[in-house]
Structure 1
Amino acid sequence: MNTQDVATPAQPVVADGTGGLYGTARGWAMLAVALSVFLALLDYAIANVALPDIARDLHASSSASIWVVNAYQMASLVTLLPLAALGSRVGFARLCRAGIVLFMVASLLCAVATSLPFLAMARVLQGVGGACIMSVNIALVRFIYPHAEIGRGVALNGVVVALGVAMGPTAAAVILTMGAWPWLFWINLPMGALALGVAAFALPDTPRTDAMPDSTGSVLCMLAFGLCIMGGDSLAHQQGVVLSCFLLVAGLATGVLLTRRERHVPHPILPVDLLGKPAFTLAFISGFAGFVASNFYIVSMPFMLHDTLGLSSAQTGLLITPWPIGILLSAPVIRRVADRYEAGVLSSIGLSITACGFLLLWRLPAHPAIWDIVWRTAIAGWGFGFFQPPNNRAMMVAAPGMRAGGASGMVQVARQAGQTVGAMGVAAFFGLFATRATHDCLFMAACVALAAALISVSRLLMKTA
């Protein structure tokens, strides 16, 4: 029997990044990754549904209650790269387990919160815990699967991501029918305990770097992302244009300073060494643009269904469901081909199909039938599910083994930064084109997805040059 076939608490699996794991060891390890990722992503959107209840119970305004969502998102995004570097130092499995523990503690604090500032700070801790998990999950997949099968693992991970994001609002609706909003956070304790229990023995020990993370680079990285997010969000909502521009300029200037500093660091927080590789950079830009496009759809479509077409909240929720279903349906296909064909081919096909789906939604008749919305949405979701795994795989295989943490962090930065910019774009469209904002957002989603497809296919042209 292969010594890696079975993992026990007394004998953790060791992976060297070349052969991966096999048999039950691989199954248990992927279950641990799936449970932890599902925990982090389910909570990403679970609080949105309860914002009116939270605002009422904590005596806060509706606008102030949005910080319950923003605090989690901002804390997660600004800490992704520093935590990815820390994972390379302490071990990806150890950081993932620490993230689950921190997430559970923060969930407890959220559940007992009696004021909005306290709840927002607890959500910051949750965001950091989620970032501990998400910054290393793709890196763990790289060590769980042999090199020739990484695409399969990334595709399976993508299914879990889609489920986590899609089930957040639905799970929140179910929980709120049975209890008050604190139960949205209490539920994380048994889920976290299950994830931690499996992760405690199943996640593989991975090679670690001896280099200490760059603390100055970490601070600059968090400042650069944080200032850009705050400035961009304020500008999108047309709140203090001068201050917004100042924050954006300050964030960009900090980013330039960070980039110049990281060029001379052996293990940079911002992986400028990886960004110097055209294959990695093009995959990153394709991923970022793809998620910008997806969030133009995800954020604006509920408004179109509810406000423009006059559908109920329940109908709106159901008509968003074909998006994750499409992603799930693409998984069996992409798992078979992700390791056989180049990302420049597969991701470009997926993004083009997504763009077609968005264009079809943009061209919906004034009074569409339910089926008209369903099949168009499913097409867009299927294409998006076809695009992600090979693109993420391309980023991971372009990085040397000891830089897996930085590559994994950048995969998540592409996703979260793209989602953030997409949401900002929707807010700006709502402010500029109030009467046709939702309609125009779908056209913008199609345009950005098509641009991402062109960026993706340029990888093939680069090879032939």
Structure 2
Amino acid sequence: MKALLSWREGDDGLPPRQRILAIAVLMSGSLMAVLNINLINIALPTMARDLGVSSSASVWIINVYQLVGAAAILTFAALGYRIGRYRLYIGGMAVFTLTSIGCALSTGLPVLIGFRIIQGLGAAAMMSIGPSLYRVIFPSRLLGQAMGLTAMTVSVGVAGGPTLGGAILAVAGWPWLFWINLPIGVLSLCLAVRALPFEQGRSFPFDVIGAVLSAVALGAFVIMVDGFSRGTSTEQTLTLLAVSLASASFFILRQRRVAHPLLPLAIFTEPRFSSAALTSLFAFIAQSMAFISLPFLFQSVQGYTPLASALLFTPWPLGTMLGAPLGGRLADRFSPPLIAACGMAVLVVGMALLALLDQEAAVGDILWRSAVCGIGFGFYQAPNNRELMGSLPRERSGSAAGVMASVRTFGQSLGAALVALVLSGIMFQGSAEAMPVGLALWGGALAGIIACGLCALRIPLYRRQCTISD
């Protein structure tokens, strides 16, 4: 943290004192957005009982939050240019905080889902432009460490969410899972008004048609994957896939023709950016396949309880918390694609080690292998995000942040679909359950190998760019 507050002659970004307040705002926003998935996950059985609904219906408390967030990512990233990221981020945080009150006071599922839809939009507004603000807050030489803080914050939410949620439910009702957002949100809003860099919006027409097409394409894809994992009919799955592909195709055609596109396609002509985005896609496929497969491995194959399964998984996000800041610091001094490739290689090794576990594996063996995966992913994520955000001009950072959030969503969705395909038994009718779970982990390792290769291919591009700059 001390290095992030340093100042050198010629530095861009904010002064150190304002910088620490601004980073506190961004970290609290990211933490609230992530916690509101992991906190609520563990409370769904309790909420279903208290609201008098089925377990399957209660899942929509999570689904709508994620769905509207995924659908609105590119729209909010572009809207940041139109009205200014300062206004959009503060507006998103205010909406998120106020709807937490509505969620806490809800007495029925329809009202709660309605507030969760609006809350998901508030979270999307923060998450879609948050990474681009790092380029305004920090000088370029510290961008990797700043990206490491983001990855660490998300990992804290992933690791601490179930524990914090369980602790709150042990002493209070589920509405308190939303009430805790109020003091954090109000404090963060006060700091945001003072600390975030103000910028004027730009007076140009907003691409409403492009926004609708992107929302339909992303939303239909996420619904398709969620339904596929729940055994939706083939006809419905193919219909949603067709809607998603058609909307994406029309979206791309429109972006090529409109004067002020929602997503400037010219950014993909920068090889380092497009390669980093593609790397991120395969990395999140790998991560998603592991995250979904491991509970089946721990519970269905090795016989652990759900609580024990959650504890066995904890070393992964804890490892990311340790690896991300260090990976970001190294990326500011050495070649970011090289550091990212090394981190992804460690993740692949960790996933292979998990895939090789037998049914009688000791707890210690599971814990250290999960930690290896987390450390590897942390080492990868901050340097790759640094490349993704830093390879474009500063004025394009909003678009880069939107792409970064979109490929994360697509990667996690594709990973979930692949695991659902394997575990459904389509490929292995009558096989032992351990075999499909192991295959899903090996599939995730393969995606990691592809991501590692893409990082390695980017190393010469980075060196060439550094030579030109020198």
TM-score by length of 2: 0.91
Residue-by-residue CA offset, 1:178-219 (whole Å, 9 max, x unaligned): 112121111111121122121121111246433232111101
Aligned to 1:455: 454
Q: Is the 8 A contact 2:147 2:382 kept in 1?
A: yes
Equivalent in 155, 158, 175 of residue 182 of structure 1: 175
Aligned to 1:441: 440
Q: Does 1:73 align with 2:71?
A: no
- Distance in 2, matches of 1:198 and 1:49, equals 31
Aligned to 1:328: 321
Q: Which moved more, 1:247-256 or 1:307-316?
A: 307-316
Q: Which moved more, 1:156-165 or 1:454-463?
A: 454-463
Query: 1:143 Cα shift?
Result: 0.6
Query: 1:441 Cα shift?
Result: 2.1
Q: Which moved more, 1:214-223 or 1:116-125?
A: 116-125
Q: Is the 8 A contact 1:223 1:254 kept in 2?
A: yes
Residue type of the alignment partner of 1:252: L
Query: 1:266 Cα shift?
Result: 4.4
Unpaired segments of 5 or more residues in structure 1? 6-16
Q: Is the 8 A contact 2:337 2:462 kept in 1?
A: no
Q: Is the 8 A contact 2:282 2:447 kept in 1?
A: yes
Query: 1:371 Cα shift?
Result: 1.1
Residue type of the alignment partner of 1:257: F
Q: Is the 8 A contact 2:83 2:200 kept in 1?
A: no
Detail structure 1 runs of 4+ shifted over 4 Å in the superposition.
461-465
User: Residue 336 and residue 63 in structure 1: after superposition, are their counterparts in 2 closer, same or farther (change >3 A)?
Assistant: same
Q: Does 1:275 align with 2:268?
A: yes
Residue type of the alignment partner of 1:456: C
Q: Is the 8 A contact 1:207 1:402 kept in 2?
A: no
Q: Does 1:86 align with 2:58?
A: no
Q: Which moved more, 1:207-216 or 1:151-160?
A: 207-216
Q: Any idea what SS the aligned residue of 1:263 has?
A: helix
Q: Is the 8 A contact 1:42 1:165 kept in 2?
A: yes
Residue type of the alignment partner of 1:435: E
Q: Is the 8 A contact 1:97 1:200 kept in 2?
A: yes
Aligned to 1:364: 357
Query: 1:350 Cα shift?
Result: 1.0
- Distance in 2, matches of 1:184 and 1:212, equals 40
User: Residue 425 and residue 120 in structure 1: after superposition, are their counterparts in 2 closer, same or farther (change >3 A)?
Assistant: farther
Q: Is the 8 A contact 1:263 1:273 kept in 2?
A: no
Q: Share of identical aligned residues, percent?
A: 36
User: Residue 427 and residue 123 in structure 1: after superposition, are their counterparts in 2 closer, same or farther (change >3 A)?
Assistant: farther
- Distance in 2, matches of 1:231 and 1:193, equals 36
Unpaired segments of 5 or more residues in structure 2? 465-470
What is the aligned length?
450
Query: 1:439 Cα shift?
Result: 2.6
Aligned to 2:112: 119
Query: 1:92 Cα shift?
Result: 1.5
Equivalent in 291, 299, 302 of residue 292 of structure 2: 299
- Distance in 2, matches of 1:167 and 1:203, equals 27
- Distance in 2, matches of 1:272 and 1:373, equals 44
Aligned to 1:14: none
Q: Is the 8 A contact 1:45 1:69 kept in 2?
A: no
Q: Is the 8 A contact 2:301 2:433 kept in 1?
A: no
- Distance in 1, matches of 2:151 and 2:224, equals 30
Calculate the aligned-residue CA RMSD, in Å: 2.0
Residue-by-residue CA offset, 1:276-319 (whole Å, 9 max, x unaligned): 32221111111111111111111221232123222233322221
Residue type of the alignment partner of 1:72: Y
Q: Is the 8 A contact 1:221 1:270 kept in 2?
A: no
Q: Does 1:108 align with 2:107?
A: no
User: Residue 180 and residue 430 in structure 1: after superposition, are their counterparts in 2 closer, same or farther (change >3 A)?
Assistant: farther
- Distance in 1, matches of 2:461 and 2:232, equals 42
Aligned to 1:380: 373
Q: Is the 8 A contact 1:396 1:404 kept in 2?
A: yes
Query: 1:462 Cα shift?
Result: 5.8
